[in-house]
Amino acid sequence: MPLIKSKSKQALSKNIAAEIRAGKPRAQAAAIGYATQKAAGAEEDHETTSRALHHKQTFHSRRAEQTSDDYHSAVVGSIEHQHDGMDHGAHHAVHHAMRKLKKED
């Protein structure tokens, strides 16, 4: 009979009893039961950690993207306001740089 993979005390007791019924000595049955319980705990902890890590990475990726977009908007906005009163050559250079930045988006 397969053992119950769980961290609960009830599962531990049932696993030990199943191993004793299968003819194993008590000490060996207890060792198998505890090992199964420990492995089940590690699997559950790994799943929880994986979910938390995925959430953290997703959050930070979104935050970095938003920060980059905010910075880009601020730079383009400041360039647009600075070209008032410039000579024609400087105005053309700024306009060209802004078009290039917008194409990179």
What residues make up the domain containing 53? 9-104
Chain centroid to Cα 98, Å, comes to: 35
pLDDT at site 2: 86
Whether the pLDDT of residue 96 is over 80: the answer is no
Establish if 1 belongs to a structural domain. Answer: no
Domain count across the chain: 1
CA distances from 91 to 40, 74, 80, 84 (A): 68, 19, 10, 8
Q: What is the mean pLDDT of residues 20-26?
A: 93
Establish if 13 belongs to a structural domain. Answer: yes
Ranking 7-11, 55-59, 93-97 by mean pLDDT, the lowest is 55-59
Residue 28's pLDDT band (boundaries 50, 70, 90)?
very high
pLDDT at site 83: 52
State the burial class of residue 97 (Cβ atoms within 10 Å of its Cβ: 0-12, 13-18, 19+).
Answer: middle
State pTM to two decimals.
Answer: 0.43
Query: What's the longest Cα–Cα distance across the chain?
Result: 96
Q: What is the pLDDT of the chain when averaged over all its residues? A: 76
**DSSP designation for 7:** S
